[in-house]
Structure 1
Amino acid sequence: MSDADYDYDLFTIGAGSGGVRASRVAAAHGARVAVAEEFRVGGTCVIRGCVPKKMLVYAAHFAEDLEDAKHFGWDVGEPRFDWKTLRDNVLGDVDRLNGLYTQTLDNNKVEIFHERAVITGPNEVTLASGEKKTAKHILIATGARPHVPSCPGHEHGITSNEAFHLDAIPRRVLIAGAGYIANEFAGIFHQFGAKVTLINRSDQILRGYDESVRDRLLQISLIKGLEFRFNANFEKIDKQDDGSLLVHMSNHEPLEVDCVLFATGRVPNIEGLGLDDVGVKLTDKGAIEVDENSRTSVPSIYAVGDVTDRVQLTPVAIREGQAFADSVFGGKPTTVDYACIPSAVFSHPPIAGVGLTEAQATQQFGSAKVYTSDFRPMKNVLAQRNERSLYKMVCHPETDKVLGIHMIGPDAPEIMQLAAVAVKAGLSKADFDATVAIHPTMSEEMVLLK
Structure 2
Amino acid sequence: MNKETIKLDITGMTCDHCATGIEKLLSKNEGVTEAKVNYPKASCECSYDPSKTSKEEIINTINGMKNYRVKGEISETGSCNNNHFDLIIIGGGSAAFSAAIKAESLGLSTLMVNGGLDFGGTCVNVGCVPSKNLIRAGENAYHATHSNFAGIKPKGVDIDFPQVIKDKKKLVAVLQEKKYMDVVSDFINLKMITGWAEFKDNKTIVVDNKTEYTALKFIIATGATTNIPSIEGLNEIGYLTNVSLFDLEEKLESITIMGAGYIGLEIAMAYNRLGVKVRIIEFTDRVLRKQTPDISEVLETQMRKEGIELLPNFRAVKFEKKGSETIIHCKCPDGSFTQITEKGRIVVASGTKPNTQRLGLQNIGIELNKTGHVLVNEKMETNLPNIYAVGDVANTPAFVYTAAFEGKIAVENSFSGAENKADYTSLPWVVFTDPQIAGAGLDEVQAEAKGIPFEISKLELKDVPRAIAANDTRGFIKLIRNTETDKLIGARVVAPEGGELIQLLSMSIKHGITVKDLADSFYPYLTLGEGIKLAAITFGKDVSKLSCCAS
Q: Same fold (TM over 0.5)?
A: yes
Q: Give the Cα–Cα distance (whole angstroms) in 1 for the partners of residues 518 and 469 of structure 2.
A: 29
| Alignment match of 2:424 (pick from 327, 334, 338) | 338
1:206 aligns with 2:288: yes
Q: Which residue is 2:455 aligned to?
A: 369
Which shifted more, 118-127 or 68-77? 68-77
What is the CA-CA distance between 1:76 and the residue it aligns to?
6.8
User: Quick one: which of 104, 114, 124 aligns to 1:37?
Assistant: 114
Distance 1:169 1:368, change over 3 A: farther
State the match for 2:338 in structure 1.
253
The answer to whether the Cα contact below 8 Å between 1:210 and 1:406 also exists between their aligned partners in 2 is: no
* Counterpart in the other structure of 1:111: 191
Query: Shift of the alpha carbon at 1:384?
Result: 6.1
Preserved contact between residue 102 and residue 408 of structure 2 (Cα < 8 Å): yes
TM-score where L is the length of structure 2: 0.77
Structure 1 unaligned spans of 5+ = none
Give the match's secondary structure for 2:299. Answer: helix
**Which structure has the highest helix share of the two?**
1
Matched, 1:132 2:212: yes
- Residue deviations 1:66-111, cap 9 Å, x none? 2356959878754111121111111112111222201222233321
Counterpart amino acid of residue 276 in structure 1: Q
Query: Secondary structure at the residue paired with 2:144?
Result: helix
CA distance in 2, matches of 1:366, 1:333: 29
Select 1:19's aligned residue among 84, 96, 101: 96
Given the alignment, which residue of 200, 206, 221 partners 2:303? Answer: 221
1:434 partner letter: D
What's 2:162 paired with? 84
**1:366 Cα offset (Å):** 6.5
Give the 3-state SS of the residue equivalent to 2:433 in structure 1. coil
Identity %: 27
The answer for the alignment partner of 2:252 in structure 1 is 170
Select which of 525, 530, 541 maps to 1:439: 525
Pairwise CA distance, 1:53: 0.7
Contact 1:72 1:382 in 2 (8 A): no
Query: Once the 2 structures are TM-superposed, how far is the Cα of residue 381 of structure 1 from its aligned partner?
Result: 6.0
Kept after mapping to 2: 8 A contact 1:105/1:111: no
User: Is contact 1:282–1:289 with CA below 8 Å preserved after alignment?
Assistant: yes
Which of 117, 122, 125 is residue 47 of structure 1 equivalent to?
125
Does residue 186 of structure 1 match 2:268?
Answer: yes
Measure the CA separation in 2 of the matches of 1:235 and 1:227.
19
SS in 1 for 2:290: coil
In structure 1, the residue matched to 2:7 is none
Larger displacement relative to structure 2 (305-314 or 205-214): 205-214
Find the partner of 1:289 among 366, 371, 375. Answer: 375
CA pair 72-25 structure 1, distance change in 2 beyond 3 A: farther
Distance 1:362 1:301, change over 3 A: closer
Matched to 1:306, the amino acid is D
Query: Shift of residue 407 of structure 1?
Result: 0.9
Following superposition, the deviation at residue 49 of structure 1 comes to 0.6
Q: Conserved in 1, the CA contact under 8 Å of 2:144 and 2:156?
A: no
Local SS of the residue matching 2:369: coil
Inter-partner Cα distance in structure 1 for 2:527 and 2:428: 22
Distance 2:507 2:453 in 1: 24
CA deviation vs aligned residue, 1:5-62 (integer Å, no higher than 9, x gap): 6721001110111111011101211111110112311111111111111111111111
Tell me: CA distance 1:202–1:254, structure 2 relative to 1, closer, same or farther (3 Å): same
Alignment correspondent of 1:398: 484
- The equivalent of 1:238 in structure 2 is 320
Greater Cα shift, 276-285 or 11-20: 276-285
The answer to whether the 8 Å contact 1:72/1:383 transfers is: no
Residue 153 (1) aligns with residue 230 (2)? no
> For residue 262 of structure 1, what is the aligned residue in structure 2?
348
Task: Note the C-alpha offset of 1:372.
Answer: 2.2
Supply the AA of the counterpart residue of 1:250.
K
Are 1:64 and 2:149 counterparts? no
SS in 1 for 2:450: helix
| Distance 1:95-1:129 versus aligned 2 partners, 3 A rule | farther
Cα distance in structure 2, aligned partners of 1:366 and 1:9? 45
Following superposition, the deviation at residue 447 of structure 1 comes to: 0.7
| Matched length | 448
**How far is 1:354 from its partner?**
0.8
SS of the aligned residue for 1:253 comes to: strand
115-124 or 334-343, which deviates more = 115-124
1:96-147 CA distance string (max 9 Å, x none): 1222201222233321112222222221122227222211111110001001
How far the C-alpha of 1:379 sits from its partner, in A, is: 7.9
Separation (CA, whole Å) in 1 of partners of 2:91 and 2:500: 30
Query: Are the equivalent residues in 2 in contact too, given 1:288–1:303 (CA < 8 A)?
Result: yes
Return the letter of the residue paired with 1:185: I
**Alignment RMSD (CA, Å):** 2.3
CA contact (8 A) 1:28 1:108 kept: no
1:355-434 correspondence runs (5 A):
355-365=441-451, 368-376=454-462, 388-434=474-520
221-230 or 336-345, larger mean C-alpha shift = 221-230
Deviations 1:306-361 (A, max 9, x none): 11122111111111111111112234321111212111111121100111112222
CA contact (8 A) 1:18 1:321 kept: yes
State the alpha-carbon separation in 2 of the partners of residues 418 and 218 from structure 1: 27
Q: Residue 20 of structure 1 aligns to which amino acid in structure 2?
A: F
| Equivalent-residue separation in structure 1 for 2:182 and 2:209 (angstroms) | 24
For 2:467 and 2:137, how far apart are their aligned partners in 1?
19
Do 2:318 and 2:330's aligned partners in 1 also have CA atoms closer than 8 Å? Answer: yes
SS at match of 1:332: coil
2:122 counterpart letter in structure 1? T
Counterpart CA distance in 1 for 2:346 and 2:322 is: 14
Q: Which of 1 and 2 has higher RCO (CA within 8 Å, sep 6+)?
A: 1
Q: Which residue of 2 aligns with 1:97?
A: 175
Kept in 2: contact 1:201–1:231 (CA 8 A): yes
DSSP 3-state at the match of 2:367: coil
Structure 2 Cα separation of the partners of residues 167 and 186 of structure 1 = 17
Q: Structure 1: how far apart are the matches of 2:466 and 2:448?
A: 35
Deviates more, 1:370-379 or 1:176-185: 370-379
Q: Distance in 2 between matches of 1:73 and 1:440?
A: 21
| Unaligned stretches of 5+ residues in structure 2 | 1-53, 61-74, 77-82, 539-551
1:394–1:405 CA contact under 8 A, matched in 2: yes
Question: Which residue identity lines up with residue 141 of structure 2 in the other structure?
Answer: A
**1:102 to 1:200, Cα distance in 2 relative to 1, 3 A:** same
Q: Distance in 1 between matches of 2:449 and 2:210?
A: 55
Does the 8 A contact of 1:7 with 1:133 survive in 2?
yes
8 Å Cα contact 2:166-2:249 kept in structure 1: no
